[in-house]
Amino acid sequence: MKQKVTLPNVGFILYRPRYPENIGAAVRAMRNMGLGRLLVVAPENYDLKKIEKMATHDSEAMVRSIELFDEMDPALEAFEYLVGTSARTGKERQDMVSPRELVPRLVPVSEENRIGVIFGPENKGLPNWILHRCHDIIHIPTADFKSINLAQSVMLVAYELYVTHHVVKRKSVSRLAKQVEIEGMFGHLKTTFETIGFVRDGNPDYWLIRMRRFFGRNPVRASEVQLVRGICKQVLWYANKRYKDGLTETDRTRV
């Protein structure tokens, strides 16, 4: 059976957009493709009149419903599945896909989970710390001349979400862990790594990035987060008990 992405469960997030006209153009693009939820994080210029002018008068209600945030973390808490966008390539972005390749994956996910698609500022794109938190990263293919602006990127992704049908061969994906649950898990892992001496080069983030990639290959459910945190809790309990029983620093690296 052919199905489409559940659009009411999809929101677009603009991170630090520089120009209000691009925010308005994003609203216009989203409305044309049946998308209605826009979150804007730390805009450099939020001139409402310029936004409304670019969005057209018929989009006034959506403009007024834009969710504004000063920081990214509170905005991400609304979503279970994150999709980043990047124009850059490199070893940190080996698993990027085009919008058309990604959409079929989102069909089953979108039935019971909220998906956030994140777009970076016009001059820099998304920083690595945000991309590391994404389950998927979109790269829009172009010819040698690469100059797609923010609003155009929004339109291209929105179009693929709207038109692409996918033959669903499996059931919908049950509720995934919320971002606050995911970040709590990684914080617990970091504490565990440091306590048992797994991180010996003073750079726990190096290992956490790789753990994010590991968990990012398959979306993590809330029950799985609880399982990982339960393991961390038991490991920390055991490590602390060994210390109390006289474990030496040399022994610590063998735990």
pLDDT in tens, 189-211: 888 888 887 776 667 677 777 78
For residue 205, what pLDDT is reported? Answer: 75
Please name which of 192, 168, 208, 207 lies closest in space to residue 252, comparing C-alpha atoms: 192
More confident residue, 103 or 176: 103
For residue 252, what pLDDT is reported? Answer: 47
* Integer Cα distance of 6 and 4 in angstroms: 6
More confident residue, 37 or 217: 37
For residue 131, what pLDDT is reported? Answer: 93
Q: Where in the chain is the domain with CATH 1.10.8?
A: 179-252
Please name which of 63, 53, 72 lies closest in space to residue 13, comparing C-alpha atoms: 72
- Counting residues of the chain whose pLDDT is more than 70, the rounded percentage is 85
More confident residue, 210 or 27: 27
44-73: burial string, b at 16+ Cβ within 10 Å, e else: eeeeeebbbebbeeebeebbeebeebeebe
* Integer Cα distance of 47 and 19 in angstroms: 9
CA dihedral 140, 142, 145, 148 (to 10 degrees): -40
Placement of tokens 């052919």 in the chain: 2
pLDDT at 254 over 50: no
For residue 93, what pLDDT is reported? Answer: 52
152 to 25, 53, 157: CA distances (angstroms): 8, 17, 9
Lowest-confidence pick of 22-31, 72-81, 209-218? 209-218
Q: What is the mean pLDDT of residues 114-140?
A: 93
For residue 94, what pLDDT is reported? Answer: 55
Q: What is the mean pLDDT of residues 216-222?
A: 76
Other CB atoms within 10 A of residue 234 CB = 11
pLDDT at 147 over 90: no
State the pLDDT confidence band at 63, using cuts at 50, 70 and 90: very high
CATH architecture of residue range(s) 179-252: Orthogonal Bundle (1.10)
Task: Please enumerate in sequence order all residues whose Cβ is within 8 A of that of 231, keeping only pairs 6 or more positions apart, or say none.
Answer: none
* Integer Cα distance of 20 and 151 in angstroms: 11
Q: What is the mean pLDDT of residues 64-83?
A: 95
pTM, full prediction:
0.74
pLDDT at 97 over 80: yes
pLDDT at 255 over 50: no
pLDDT at 11 over 90: yes
CATH of 2-167, one of 3.40.1280.10, 3.90.320.10, 1.10.10.60, 3.40.50.300: 3.40.1280.10
State the pLDDT confidence band at 134, using cuts at 50, 70 and 90: very high
More confident residue, 76 or 205: 76
For residue 168, what pLDDT is reported? Answer: 58
For residue 214, what pLDDT is reported? Answer: 79
Q: What is the mean pLDDT of residues 162-166?
A: 80
More confident residue, 191 or 120: 120
